[in-house]
Amino acid sequence: MGAADAYGVSRVPLLVMNALHPIVPDEVLGFLHGKRRVLIVEEGMPNFLEQQIKALAYEAGLGVGIHGKNLFSPHGEYVPELVLRGVRAFLKDAEARTVPAGGVEARYAALTAHLPRIPGALGAPVAKRPPSFCTGCPERPVFSALKMLREREPEIGDTHVAADIGCHSFSTMPPFNTGNTILGYGMGLASANAAGPMFGKRTIALMGDGGFWHNGLTSGVANAVFNKQDQVLVILQNFYTSATGQQHNPSTGTNPRQEPVEMSIPEALRGVGVKWVRTVNPYRLGETLKTLREALTTKAKGLKVVVAKAECQLERQRRERPRNAQRAGAGRRVEQPRFGVDPDVCTGDHSCMRFNGCPSLTLAPSPDPLRADPIAHIDQTCVGCGLCGEVAHAAVLCPSFYETKVVTNPSALERLAQALRWAVIRRLAGGPDGYARGDNGQAAAVPVGTPAGQEAVIPLRFGDDHSPRFG
């Protein structure tokens, strides 16, 4: 609004409260002293800070006008447009000596002039994009498994799920819709312990490793053991406190100074008396399904804990992509998995998306002119986690998913093998010379003879035991 420079130096005094509780009265009163009007920017309701600061100013006998929710919305997220409108109203009405009202109005008009043009420029409302897990997230398979258990196994059926704060809170959104309550960070099991007896069956509590080490071990696990609660706890161990920026926690293996730390979730669980502990690789969906089913149906009493252990895919890609690019640039062999959908096999019922929800699994027009419905399609953002194929296998869906290995700088033997493969495929598919049909039904620009330094695609198929095999 013209009252600060690009570096944040403001002509309007600011008090930025990094610690919100407890309020330091001397700090707040010192800032309020000598002010005529003050604006409090506080997201969420109730407006705790505004009420406390007004009470402090009243008790101190300060004649300062304090504004907050009367100039902002009392609900919703404080997006830039909303904050801009509130600050404009405050500066205009306050008649601040450092910011002329005319300048405020002119700058606000310039900053918002584009807003009326947006609906016409878009042509149609923007499709809603609910928050979702990252591509390849190791937490997604757990919720695919829980959804399959709820929908496909009547003996388990629907049950109360106490969600928790973290990336896994996205499970409460489509397509999983898993999570009835969220109490607080690391409080999933504590809330399940309170609500569980009302349902007459085992409930499920969710918790990340960040929430577990934060307070879930004491407030949830120790409490459940002490009170002999017969519940199921799923701990999503991705080695980082991911939702707030991949900070280190005891599961990472090192502290922020990169010093080794020997702390494990299973040992901590057994240390407070948990007897039933299972650790699974969530990407192995069949194993995860079997373990969750056992936890919900076993005759063993007491707390049952399933630890889904796999590294945060976002952090893994941040590490692996530069490393692979460096290896490929140096002429060394790099192999990366990719998945695709056979358009001739896909039926277009999209059950795979309903149980998966991966951002790389999207829609594409069907190459078959007799099929009007779009087919499933995997775009180039795929990181090769394999969940789509695992879901199709575990949920007994159509066998349209396939895995390939993209090899950069292949060996001479691999180039020869690929040339033979493409020769056979070209002959069978009837494609133009040197090319074969790709998974979109069109000619794929993959030369038969791939020279050194370029990529070769080695096709794989899922076998009966769902292990990748050469086709």
pLDDT for the residue 457:
55
Query: How confident is the model over 247-277, as pLDDT tens digits?
Result: 888 888 888 888 888 889 999 999 999 999 9
Are residues 270 and 379 both part of a single domain? no
Asked, for residue 5, whether it belongs to a domain, the answer is no
290 and 360, same domain (yes or no)? no
Q: Residue 440: its pLDDT value, please?
A: 42
Q: Given a cut of 80, is residue 15 above it in pLDDT? A: yes
Mean pLDDT on 179-194: 88
What's this model's pTM, rounded to 2 decimal places? 0.70
CA distance 468 to 471: 9
- Strand pairing report for 455-462 and 436-437: unpaired
The burial of 430, by beta-carbon neighbours within 10 Å (0-12 exposed, 13-18 middle, 19 or more buried), is given as exposed
Residues 184 and 309 in one domain: yes
d(CA 391, CA 387): 6
Residue 4 lies in a domain: no
pLDDT at 57: 94
User: In whole numbers, what is the pLDDT of the chain averaged over residues?
Assistant: 84
Examine the fold and report which residue of 314, 344, 364 is the final residue of a domain before the chain moves on.
314
Q: Are residues 192 and 263 in the same domain?
A: yes
Q: Reduced to 3 states, what is the DSSP secondary structure of residue 219?
A: helix
Looking at 94, 122, 150, the residue that finishes a domain is 122
Residue ending a domain, among 286, 314, 342, is 314
Q: Name the residue range of residue 227's domain.
A: 140-314
In a domain, 8, yes or no: no
Place 288 in a pLDDT band, splitting at 50, 70 and 90: very high
- State whether 256 and 148 are in the same domain: yes
Evaluate whether residue 134 is within a structural domain: no
Pick the residue with more confidence: 244 or 134?
134
Whether 87 has a pLDDT exceeding 60, the answer reads yes
Q: 10 Å Cβ neighbour count for 420?
A: 11
- Residue 215 falls inside a structural domain: yes
pLDDT tens-digit profile of 352-365? 888 888 888 888 88
Residue at 290 is within a domain: yes
Q: Is residue 51 included in any domain, yes or no?
A: yes
Residues 270 and 372 in one domain: no
Position 232 scores a pLDDT of 93
31-53 residues labelled b (16+ CB within 10 A) or e (exposed):
bbeeeeebbbbbeeeebebbebb
Answer yes or no: do 305 and 366 share one domain: no
8-17, 66-75, 121-130 — which is least confidently predicted? 121-130
**Is 397 inside a domain boundary?**
yes
Q: How many domains does the chain have?
A: 3
Domain co-membership, 66 together with 181: no
pLDDT attached to residue 103: 79
CATH number of the domain bearing residue 294: 3.40.50.970
In terms of domains, do 265 and 362 share one?
no
| Statement to judge: residues 114 and 232 lie in one domain | no
Instruction: Indicate the DSSP class of residue 167.
Output: G
Same domain? 44 vs 145: no
Same domain assignment for residues 247 and 396: no
